[in-house]
Amino acid sequence: MADERLMTISTFSRAVGIPASALRHYAAQRVLEPTDMDPVSGYRYYAPSQIDSGVLLQRMRSAAVPLPVMREVLAGSAQDGALLLAELATHHGAASRQREDELTALRAQLDPAPAHRAPATAALPGTVLASAISQVIRAAATAATDVSGLVCSVGPQGIELIATDRYWLAHRHLEAETAGGEARAIISREDATEVAAACAHHATVHLKLTEQGLTVHDADGSLLARTVAVDRAVPDLGRLVSTQPSARALAGFDRAELQEVLDRSDQSDKLLLVVGNGTTALHAGGARDDAPVLSGWATPDEQLEVLVGRALFAAAVAVCPGEEIVLSLVDTTTPVRVASPVQDTLTCLVMPMLP
């Protein structure tokens, strides 16, 4: 019978974070063998003193250290193990750089244009650019790192500024004198805010956008801002806006009244938009059981119900100027388009909630 101070394989597995099946494999490879094994039952037992080795093994496992190196590290001294791992890191670093060079060469072979593509340039009022950036970037206020930032696009059709947190999106199209090629890049939220502040008091600004970043000068050529693009694949969010299906129903609310309802702390997190017979009713709680908290107009002859989150809806309404909010509704799963009649260059998309 095993010593009571020893741990079963399942207990040791939980202590070091390695599945029991993997521990059996490592034992067979003589990387980390149990202290004792019952010859009748085959049960394996580990000593508490092996926990440190088990934790080290788990970390080497996460780092994809080869079995022979694992075996040597655990069998030798700490100094020898550190030297082995340093040599392995050097080898991996060289292999990684070689792979990166090979992939870059392959990309250049398939599409040589990016390295030599001309920058896209544009000129427009600095006040307009600053206002648009400040307006759109609010959609990324709580975004996760992998989607945070301002997507900037410059091309023959003008400038597109887009931000999202995955659940709602703000898009602004700006008319501008553009030249050069087409470019799209992601600017961090912090950099975008600094660009807006730098441009806010200039009648005209000239911007240059490449895949590497954004540069802005004033009319005299003085540098106002220079940003480095976020190193992340740039999604074509503009296409997401332009390919939205046609609305089945249009609905409208007085902006001040709607904002007052959305700002009320006693409101539910769910709001139900009910369209029918030329009116739109906004119900709190996501159900039609109670009287509507607000009524508005709608296109006639349409019957539609869409559930939205109050916080997302409120955020989109807050960036829309003017005295009226217009909603374009399709179905229960297509984003709700939130817009203002006085600024047709702004579009917000809000993902609906599931019932």
The CATH 1.10.1660.10 portion of the chain extends over 7-75
The proportion of the chain whose per-residue pLDDT surpasses 70, expressed as a percent, equals: 95
The residues of the chain that CATH labels 3.10.150.10 are 117-241, 244-350
Hey, what CATH topology would domain 117-241 get?
Answer: DNA Polymerase III; Chain A, domain 2 (3.10.150)
Mean pLDDT is lowest, of 2-11, 173-182, 219-228, for 2-11
Maximum C-alpha span of the chain:
88
Q: What is the pLDDT of residue 112?
A: 57
Quote the percentage of the chain above a pLDDT of 90. Answer: 66
For position 1, what pLDDT does the model report? 41
What pLDDT sits at residue 348? 97
User: Average pLDDT in the 263-272 region?
Assistant: 81
Strand order in the sheet with 304-309: 183-187, 150-155, 158-164, 168-174, 343-350, 336-340, 324-329, 249-254, 294-298, 279-284, 270-276, 304-309
Domain 7-75 falls in which CATH fold?
Multidrug-efflux Transporter Regulator; Chain: A; Domain 2 (1.10.1660)
40 vs 125, higher pLDDT:
125
Identify which has the larger pLDDT, 121 or 88: 121
CA 259, 128, 217: angle at the middle one, nearest 5? 145
- Which CATH superfamily is 244-350 part of? DNA Polymerase III, subunit A, domain 2 (3.10.150.10)
Question: What's the rounded mean pLDDT across residues 217-238?
Answer: 92
Q: Kindly tell me if the per-residue pLDDT of 111 is higher than 70.
A: no
pTM of the model: 0.67
Question: Does the pLDDT value for residue 206 go beyond 60?
Answer: yes
> Among 16-20, 116-120, 148-152, which range has the highest average pLDDT?
148-152
Decide if 301 contacts 230 (C-beta within 8 A). no
Q: What phi and psi values does residue 126 have, to the nearest 5 degrees?
A: -65, -35
Using one digit for the tens of pLDDT, what is the confidence trace for 176-189?
999 988 999 999 99
Q: Which residue has the higher pLDDT, 100 or 1?
A: 100
